[in-house]
Structure 1
C-alpha cells in the first residue's frame, strides 16, 4: 500500500508542478522572445513559447526524488544522461546548435547508460552494446520528430510512460517504475498547455528528454522469453515513434526528398490529411501507443509469447507504414496541379529559420498548414 501511495503522490506532484511551471515559463518565454514564430512552413499562426520541456524535466526530477531510495547505479546514470541530453536540446531551442555536436552528446549519454549495465541483450557479444547505443540515439531523435503537432508527443509519452512503468514494476524495478510514472504525470501536466490549439511547445529539450528516458528505460527492463521476447518488448514500447520514423524514411526518398530534413509528412500529418482533427490525431496516436504498450506488458509478464507477439507487432507496424505512405501529403507542382482553394500557391515573406522545417499538408485546411511549398520549390 505504501508503494502505491508513494507512486500516487509522486505522480500528483509531477502533474501539478509541470502545470504550474509551464504557465510561468510560458510567460517568461514570451517576455524574452523564446518563441517559435509563424512561417511559411509552419502550422501555427502566432508566436508560441518554448520551454515546456524544461517544465517537464524539472517536474519529473523534483517529484522523482521520492524514488531515489530505490535507484541503483543504472537508474542514476540514466537520469544524469537524460538531463545532459535535455540541456543540449535546450541549447538548440535557444540557439540552433550543430547537428554533429548534438549527435556526439547523445552518443556519449547513451554509451554511459550501456556502461552502467543497460544492454539489449539479443546478440550475446560485442554487437549488443553498439546496437544498444544506436537504438537509444535513434529512438530519442524519433521521439523528437514525433513532436510535430499539438499534443501528439505528450499524449504518446503519457501512455508509453505508464505502461513502461508497469513492465518495470513487474520486474521488481520500483525506482524505474516510479520515475516513469512521474514522467507520464509531468507530460500530462504539460499537456494542459500543449493541447490543440497549443499555447506552448515542449521544444527539443522536452522531446529529447522524454525520448531518451523512454528508449533507455525499455533497455533497462528485462523480460523473460529470450531474444524474440526482448525484441517484441523494445518494439512495442516504442511502437508509435518507430512507425513514424519508418514512414518518413520510406516515403521521402520516393518523393525525391532527403530523410534528414524536417517536414509535415509524418504519421500525424498523414492522419490529419485523412480527415482527423488535431485532437483526434493526438488521441489516435495515444491509443496506438497504449495498445502496443499493453502488449509489451503482456510480454514482460510472460503472458504473451515472444515469437508470436513479435511477428504480430512487426506485421502491424508494416501494415500501418504501408497504409500511411499512401496518403497524399506532398503538394504537386503548379504545372501538374494548378493551385485551387485546397492548394494555395507559394507565398514568399521574410521569416526566421523555422524550428520545424515542415512541408505542408496537401488536404489540410489553410489554418493548419500556412502556405504551401511545392516540391519543385523545396528541391531548389
Structure 2
C-alpha cells in the first residue's frame, strides 16, 4: 500500500517535469501535431511511457512490487507499440503500419490458455480497436488523458478484485503519470500525447482489461470490456458512421469527433472534456460493478444503449461548424493572452 502511494506520487511528479522539459525540444525538432489550430508538441506521450515503464521496472527489479505472470510481457509490448507511435509522430507512418504493429504486439500478450484460441483472436481485435480508438480520442485538449485516468482506476479495481496486485500497481502508476501529463495538456494544451502516448494508453488499458477478464464467459467479458472503453468506442463509431454516411475517406482527419460536436451545443473545450469524463466514469463504474458481481450483466445494456443514443444524436450535429467554433475559441484565448 505504502509503495503504491509512493510509486504513484513519483510517477506524477516525474511525468509533469519530463513533459515540460520535452516541450521545447519537440517544437525545435518539429515533432508536433498539425491537426490542431496551432502546432502542438507531442512528446508528452513519450514522457508518460518512459515514467510508467521506469517506475514499474523499479518495482520489479527491487521485488517490492513484482508485476506478476504475463504483466511484464504486457508492458514490454505496450512500450513497443509506443515506440512505433513515436516513429509515426516523427515520420508520419501510414495507418496500416500502426494497425499491423499493434496487432502483432497484441497477439503476444493475450493469455490464450485462459481465453481459448477464438477468444484470444477476439481479444487481439479488441486491443487493436481500443488502441486506435484512443488515438482518435486524442483530438481535444485533455480528453484522452482524462478518459485514460478514469479507465485506469476502473481496470485497476478489477485487477485488485482478481488479486492481480502487480497489474493493479502498474495501472495506478500509469494513472498517476497521465495525471502529471494532464497538468500540461489541459486546455489550452502545451504538450500532447501524440501517437506514442495515445496508442500506449489504449493498448495498456485494453490489454489489462483482457487480463482481468481471462477465464470468464465471452459474453459477460465483452460487456465489461465495452464499459471500460465506452467513450473511446462511441467516438470511433461516431466517426465511422459520419464518414460513411458523408462518403468521406475513413482515414482522412476532420473535426467530426465527439468533442468537436459537443462544442456545437455551446460547451467550452474544458466543459466538453468534463462531460465526457463524467460519462466515462459512469460507464467504467458499471463495468467494475458487473465484474465484481455487485450488479447483473443487464446493466451493460444501459451503457450500450446510452452510448448508441449519444452517437445517433451527435450524428445530426454539423461537424464542420465545430471547426469554426474551435478556431474562434482558440484565437480568442490567444488574443486574451497576448493582450
Structure-2-length-normalised TM-score: 0.91
* Larger radius of gyration between Structure 1 and Structure 2: 1
C-alpha contact (below 8 Å) 1:89/1:205 kept by paired residues: yes
What CA distance in whole angstroms lies between the structure 2 residues aligned with 1:262 and 1:90? 19
Distance 1:169 1:67, change over 3 A: farther
Structure 2 match to 1:221: 212
Alignment RMSD? 2.1
Contact 2:119 2:218 in 1 (8 A): no
* 1:113–1:224 Cα change, 3 Å: closer
> Is 1:101 paired with 2:92?
no
Distance, in Å, in 2 between the alignment partners of 1:224 and 1:99 is 32
Name the residue aligned to 1:35. Answer: 32
| Number of the residue aligned with 1:314 | 304
1:284 aligns with 2:275: yes
The whole-number CA distance in structure 2 between the counterparts of 1:219 and 1:241 is: 16
Counting helix residues as a fraction of each chain, which structure ranks higher? 2
Distance in 2 between residues matched to 1:118 and 1:197, nearest whole Å: 46
Aligned partners of 1:322 and 1:223: how far apart in 2? Answer: 32
Distance of 1:287 and 1:67 partners within structure 2: 32
Hey, what's the Cα distance between the residues in 2 that align with 1:367 and 1:24?
27
Taking structure 1 as the reference length, the TM-score comes to 0.81
Contact 1:273–1:361, Cα closer than 8 Å, also in 2? no
Q: Which segments of 5 or more consecutive residues in structure 1 lack a partner in the other structure?
A: 332-359, 371-380
1:327 aligns with 2:320: no
Count of equivalent residues: 328
Which residues of 2 match residues 295-310 of structure 1 at below 5 A? 295-306=286-297, 308-310=298-300
1:91 aligns with 2:53: no
Equivalent residues in 2 for 1:234-245 (5 A)?
234-245=225-236
Q: Secondary structure at the match of 1:361?
A: helix
Deviation at 1:64, TM superposition (A): 1.9
Cα gap change, 1:225 to 1:91, in 2 (>3 Å)? closer
What is the deviation of 1:109?
Answer: 0.1
CA drift at 1:210:
0.5
Q: CA deviation at 1:258?
A: 2.1
Cα displacement string for residues 244-279 of structure 1 (whole angstroms, at most 9, x for unaligned residues): 111111111112212222211011111112111011
Please state how far the C-alpha of 1:92 moved relative to its aligned partner.
0.6
Matches within 5 A, 1:136-285: 136-222=127-213, 226-285=217-276
| Conserved? CA contact 2:33–2:194, under 8 Å | no
How far 1:368 sits from its partner (Å)?
A: 4.4
Unaligned runs of 5+ in 2: 333-339
The whole-number CA distance in structure 1 between the counterparts of 2:320 and 2:33 is 23
